[in-house]
Amino acid sequence: MTYDSALAALADPTRRRVFEQLRTGPKSVGGIARDMPVSRPAVSQHLRVLKEAGLVRDEQDGARRVYSIDPRGLGPLRRWLDQFWDQALDAFKAEVERPTPSPRRRRRS
Amino acid sequence: MTYDSALAALADPTRRRVFEQLRTGPKSVGGIARDMPVSRPAVSQHLRVLKEAGLVRDEQDGARRVYSIDPRGLGPLRRWLDQFWDQALDAFKAEVERPTPSPRRRRRS
DNA sequence: CACTATCGTAAGTCATGACTTACGGTAAGT
DNA sequence: ACTTACCGTAAGTCATGACTTACGATAGTG
Percent of chain B with pLDDT over 70: 80
Q: Say which amino acid occupies A53.
A: A
Residue B66: give its domain's CATH number: 1.10.10.10
Reported ipTM: 0.85
Please state, in angstroms and rounded to a whole number, the distance separating the CA atoms of residues A101 and A41.
Answer: 58
Question: Residue B6: CB partners within 8 Å, gap ≥ 6?
Answer: B53, B54, B55, B73, B74, B76, B77
Domains identified in chain A, total number: 1
Kindly state whether B60 is in contact with chain A, defined as any CB-CB distance less than 8 angstroms: no
Residue A45 lies in a domain: yes
Q: How many Cα atoms occupy the beta-carbon half-sphere of B57 within 13 Å?
A: 12
What is the average per-residue pLDDT within B95-102?
47
Residue A48 lies in a domain: yes
* pLDDT tens track for A30-89: 999 999 999 999 999 999 999 999 999 999 999 999 999 998 899 999 999 988 777 766
pLDDT at A76: 94
Pairwise CB contact (< 8 Å): B26 & A95: yes
Distance of CA B31 to the CA centre of its chain: 21
Full residue range of the structural domain in which residue B66 is found: 3-70
B62-75: buried (b, 16+ CB within 10 Å) or exposed (e) per residue? eeeebbbbbbebbe
pLDDT at B93: 66
Residue A99 lies in a domain: no
Please state, in angstroms and rounded to a whole number, the distance separating the CA atoms of residues A108 and B47.
Answer: 31
Residue A109 lies in a domain: no
Residues 17-56 of B with CB within 7 A of strand C: 28-31, 33, 40-41, 43-45, 47-48
* pLDDT tens track for B66-93: 999 998 899 999 999 998 778 766 766 6
| Nucleotide whose C1' lies closest to the alpha carbon of residue B38 | D19
Q: Which of B3, B5, B10, B22 to mutate to test the interface with A (most CBs of A within 10 A)?
A: B10
Judged by DSSP in three states, A69 sits in: strand
